[in-house]
Amino acid sequence: MTASPAPATDAPPPGRLARLVKKIWWLHSFFALAFGVGVMLFARHGLAYADKLLMVLFLSWLLMFVALRFIVGPANRSDDEKLLKKGVRLGTNYVIKQLYQQMFFFLVPLYGASATWSLSSWNWWMAPVLLVCAVVSTMDLVFDNVIMERRWLASAMYGLAMFGVLNVVLPLVFGVTHKDGLFLASLATPPAVALLTFSARAVLTPTGLVATALATGGLFAAVYYGRRAIPPAPLAMSETAVGHGTRGSEECLPPSKHVLRRNRLDGLRCGSLLVEPGGLKEGVVHVWRHRGRSVRIEPARLPCDGDGAVFVSELPMAALPADPEGVWSCITETRGGQLVGARRFVVVGADGQASPAAVDAGRGGESLDGGVARDGGAAALDAGGPALDAGGAAHDASAADDAGAPTLDAP
């Protein structure tokens, strides 16, 4: 009686060369991550070449368009393909990975510096998402076997990078405001992603055109109504302060105070030091908030030394409420309605003691953005839609007020 044949075994384990190649790819991933950190350190210097970045973005889209149709992905792979085609696919994947990595790592510090880091402010979300995409793009095995094998996923990641780059470079290249640059980015991204995800023939059919138009309109509407959740990168507020009393002859930012007595609020003023490569592209507004009431003042720009621009607004005594005690916020936002940053301070009694209401209102805490004090609840207070002026009429919160003329908002 002969022995029965042994059952078929699984595929043999990978050889030594295959295991070595896999380890080399992981080592290359660590190198790519280190290189990406270097890109983050010098990202702001790269904005001097914003026009060239825009051209690279267009060329990268063309490369993605060709690669997803003719080179990479399961539809362009066969069991009997020649070594040359495999080499072309490997090289194309490598170039695309480099484009993804550099775009994402380039954007992370720009959006991180422009964001307001507070759980009550929703404009910080882009920096962590961009960082996750940047790290994933350095993981060669994940990028090659997961992302590039799924056209919709590769297109979505590229769409996020494209939106982020356009939002940054359009104001720098064409001098448009951050609001207009944001709107243009929202209009350009959906058609570009649609052409990467689907065939051009499918996109250009009546159904495809309608779907693309709806997607474009949806993103534009989301950006229009939710622009406070998107930082105006690369505009950043590097310093802010609230002070009071007589102005010094050489004063730019007021002396910083976090606690003020209610009987010493004369000359109460808020200052913002703003930095943007190539100069500011849009004016800013200071919104003073206290217990649901707000005063909008267009600050004056002071002639101070240095690369940044200093804006200071003074809250008139007539605009102070009868009971000024409690938590205050001086919010800096663009005229287009995007949050730049905020400064929180507390007004206490004449004896230096905080009232119970002030203590309760201050329990939300204070967040920090690069060492700059930020308001933990200002964005939440400011997200209630159109404000009401003193007469009860609605007005656009993003409209510029007359220079130096405060607008009182009803509680």
What pLDDT is stored for residue 357 in this prediction? 57
Q: Which two tokens stand for residue 97?
A: 């990975």
Residue type, 162: M
Q: Backbone dihedral region of 283: left (phi > 0), alpha (psi from -120 to 50 degrees) or beta?
A: beta
What pLDDT is stored for residue 139 in this prediction? 83
What pLDDT is stored for residue 290 in this prediction? 94
What pLDDT is stored for residue 63 in this prediction? 80
What are the tens digits of pLDDT across the range 217-236? 999 999 999 999 999 999 99
Count of CA atoms in the C-beta half-sphere (13 A) of 2 = 3
What pLDDT is stored for residue 250 in this prediction? 86
What does the DSSP 8-state code read for residue 403? B
| pTM > 0.85 | no
- Residue range(s) occupied by CATH 2.60.40.1930 in the chain: 236-408
What pLDDT is stored for residue 12 in this prediction? 53
Which stretches in the chain have pLDDT values below 70?
Answer: 1-32, 35, 43-46, 50, 69-81, 83, 85, 356-411
What are the tens digits of pLDDT across the range 66-75? 777 666 666 6
What pLDDT is stored for residue 186 in this prediction? 96
What pLDDT is stored for residue 46 in this prediction? 67
The CATH architecture of the domain made up of 236-408 is: Sandwich (2.60)
What does the DSSP 8-state code read for residue 1? -
Closest listed residue to residue 254, CA positions, set 311, 317, 295: 311
